[in-house]
Structures are given as C-alpha cells and as structure tokens.
Amino acid sequence: MRITDIREATASIRSEIRNAYIDFSGMTISVVALEADPGHGRAPLTGYGFCSNGRYGQGGILRERLIPRIEAAAPDSLLDDRGRLDPFGVWAAMMANEKPGGHGDRAVAAAALDMAVWDLVAKAEGKPLWRLLSDRYNDGAADDRVLVYPGGGYYYPGKGLEQLQTEMRGYRAQGYRVVKMKIGGAPLADDLRRIEAVLEITGGGDSLAVDANGRFDLATALDYARALEPYGLFWYEEPGDPLDYQLNAEVCAAYAGAVATGENLFSLVDTRNLLRHGGMRAERDWLQVDPGLAYGLTEYLRILDMVDELGWSRRRLIPHGGHQLALNVAAGLQTGGSESYPGVFQPFGGFADDCEIVDGYARPSELPGIGVEGKAAMFAEIRRLVDT
C-alpha cells in the first residue's frame, strides 16, 4: 500500500442559524481525499474525510504542515506490520515537529485527514468502518442500532415558539425521541418559555436536552441549573466556558440532573483534565468529545483507553457532530450514542440517505468505509471539491 495523492478543499456549510455564542453564516469545513495504490495489481482506493462543524476549514494547516509531512514520510513508516495503511503511523507522521499543547485548529485539520485514512483502511478490507472497529478494538462486539438525537432548536431571525414546536414535531415524525435545543441566546425567562413549548411536544423532560454552548458565567450557569432542575431534562450541556473546569464542577455539585460537555475539548489531555478537575459524575454525566474535531478517530481510540483507565464507561460518551464517523464509532465501539444533524450543516450534517431513525435509534451504513457514498448530496459535493 502506497499513498499516491492527498487533496484538500474548503466546503461551505453556511446557514442562518445561531447558538448562544456564534452565528454560522460563514461556517466552513475542510474536505480531504486520500488516494492509495494497494499494490498486487489491485485497483486504487480513495478515502474521504471532512472535519466536523463549528471550527472552520483548516486548509492552511493541511497544506502547509500536515499533508507535506505525510508526503515526506518514509512510505513504510505509514504501514502496519502486514503492509496495510496504519492510521497511527500516518498520525505520527502528520504530527511530527508539532509542540505539545495548543489543541485547537490543528486538531480539526488532523481530524479531517484522519477520517480519510480510516475510510480508506476500512474500504481496503471491504468493511464498514464500524465493523472494522468492532473487529480490531472491541472483540467483535457492536451495536446494530445507535441512540441518536438531533442537534437543533437553534435561534434564527424571526423564529418564534410556534416554529420551534414545528421543528421539534418534525424530528419526532422522523423517528427521533430525544431532541435538543439551544439556550442562552435569550434571557432566562424567554428560554424557559421556549423549553416549555418544546416539552409540549416531547411530553417529558427525559426526551429534551438543552445546550448553552459555553455562554454562561458561574452565576448565570447556576441560575439556569436551578431553573432547569425541575424539568428532569436529558442533559444540560456546556453551561460555561468549555475549559473552565471549576465552573463545571460547581454546576455538577449544584445540579441533580445530568451535565454534558466536551465538544470543545480537542485532545486527550484536555478531556482528561475535564475528568480530573471538572466534577463530572461517572454514573450520570456525558462526554461529547468529537472525533471529527479532536485529532480524529486515532486520538479518540486513545481517549477511550484513558476514559476506561479513569473508571468511566464508554456508554457515557456521545460524540458531538452528527456525522457518519461518529455513528460508526458509536456502533463499532459501543459508546452511548451520537448526535445527528438532519436539518443543518447540509449537505454534511446527518447520516446516509437510507438511514431510518426508529424509536430514536439509527442503523449505521453497510457500505465499506465510513459510508460517505451513501449520502448522495454530500458525496456529490465532496467529489466536486476533491476528485480530480
């Protein structure tokens, strides 16, 4: 196996939505194509990857640092002992001469490239990625259905309670049970009215998660905690700055319900800091680190080992991002579930076109690799951007 070409491009996933922190009118992602010659006269393979949403495309870092390092690496250093492309070898090559710390845009760039590597590795074995992960890292065990929830309930201009309810009714009609909505972009009293409007649709707090997107200071986070607690929500997400472990610990200490956070932690060490210093409760809270933002599946496997060592169950991990990588990870490694984006970040949000949501669960694709070919509009855009 030899890598023969790596291409990248920037795709727009712009929309008019906003959360409590940013709007998405200029949001982009990076898309990567990785070509390899398997040797022995077999047909060339192409792996596709992209980064998850929220942190912009990373073309500069891909073009100037990560891709040239892989191209300059000794080809055998990128292979495992059976001559197969080795994601850990590729990861080490692209991260050579990078200092520790500073896990931000670099982690996003690496995640896009790493996804293409895993797509290709699974295609080379003719397996869906979730099956390959199950075989290699989970003793053959896998979930044939994965808990999913739509990341929705965004603020956008002119959106009132009725439109919010219509949106949520739509998710339920699509088969979702747990739904999520944004909070923190309006005053507390308005947000409580929004929450109560959605509870009319879900019928109970255990099917509604709320997401503050890191907006609150400690006092506001605790005000919301007190106000939210009676609803018995599925979770209260990212109350404060994602790196303010002390704030998170104070919210966990004050709030009887579940807290979820981690989508803005981009490395093993940051995630470990959350578990060490953030007051998270292993029997109740949720870790949302996104393998599409945080150095890819390769780093996520290391994070799973670390989480095991600290005594957490993998079932407490539900990755952010709503992409097919996360769905494969959840199925093959038996995490707690995956976010989904049926309506936003198109054409990259959501799963394969034939993926039906039944009783709040999704089935991963049976296509070899990550299954990008099974989402027609997304695959067309990927091919337009990075196929020669």
At its nearest, how many Å lie between a copy of itself and the CB of residue 248?
Answer: 11
Nearest to 184 by CA among 236, 110, 121, 107: 236
Locate 36 and state its tokens.
């390899």
Q: Which of residues 107-136 bind a copy of itself (CB under 8 A)?
A: 107-108
At its nearest, how many Å lie between a copy of itself and the CB of residue 285?
Answer: 18
**Integer CA distances (angstroms), 22 to 15, 16, 26, 54, 55, in order:** 12, 11, 10, 9, 11
Nearest to 65 by CA among 96, 35, 88: 96
The verdict on 184 binding a copy of itself (CB under 8 A) reads: no
127 labelled catalytic = no
CB 113 within 8 A of CB 67: yes
| Residue indicated by tokens 């870092």 | 61
320 labelled catalytic = yes
Nearest to 31 by CA among 54, 12, 53, 51: 51
Catalytic residue among 103, 127, 320, 323: 320
Q: How far, in Å, CA of 305 to CA of 312, rounded? A: 10
At its nearest, how many Å lie between a copy of itself and the CB of residue 103?
Answer: 6
The verdict on 102 binding a copy of itself (CB under 8 A) reads: yes
Buried b (16+ CB within 10 A) or exposed e, 198-230: bbebbeebebbbbbbbbbbebeebbebbeebee
- The correct pick among 114, 270, 285, 299 for binding a copy of itself (CB under 8 A) is 270
CB 223 within 8 A of CB 184: no
Nearest to a copy of itself of 58, 207 (CB atom): 58
Applying CB under 8 A, the span of 132-140, 177-185, 273-281, 324-332 interacting with a copy of itself comes to 273-281
Catalytic residue among 182, 277, 323, 375: 182
Site string for a copy of itself, 35-54 (x = CB under 8 A): -------------------x
- The correct pick among 103, 177, 194, 320 for binding a copy of itself (CB under 8 A) is 103
Q: How far, in Å, CA of 95 to CA of 303, rounded? A: 17
- The correct pick among 15, 52, 58, 248 for binding a copy of itself (CB under 8 A) is 58
Q: Is 57 helix (H, G, I), strand (E, B) or coil?
A: coil
- The correct pick among 104, 160, 204, 230 for binding a copy of itself (CB under 8 A) is 104
Site string for a copy of itself, 199-238 (x = CB under 8 A): --------------xx------------------------
Nearest to a copy of itself of 150, 240 (CB atom): 240
Nearest to 378 by CA among 41, 5, 106, 13: 13
The verdict on 75 binding a copy of itself (CB under 8 A) reads: no
Residue 61 burial (CB count, 10 A): 22
- The correct pick among 277, 281, 315, 384 for binding a copy of itself (CB under 8 A) is 277
Applying CB under 8 A, the span of 21-29, 130-138, 363-371, 380-388 interacting with a copy of itself comes to 21-29
DSSP H helices, the chain, are: 59-61, 67-72, 87-94, 105-124, 129-137, 161-174, 188-202, 218-228, 245-254, 268-277, 296-309, 324-333, 376-386
Task: Name the residues that contact a copy of itself, by CB under 8 A.
Answer: 10, 21-26, 28, 54-61, 63-65, 96-108, 213-214, 241-246, 264-267, 269-270, 272-273, 276-277
List active site positions: 182, 320
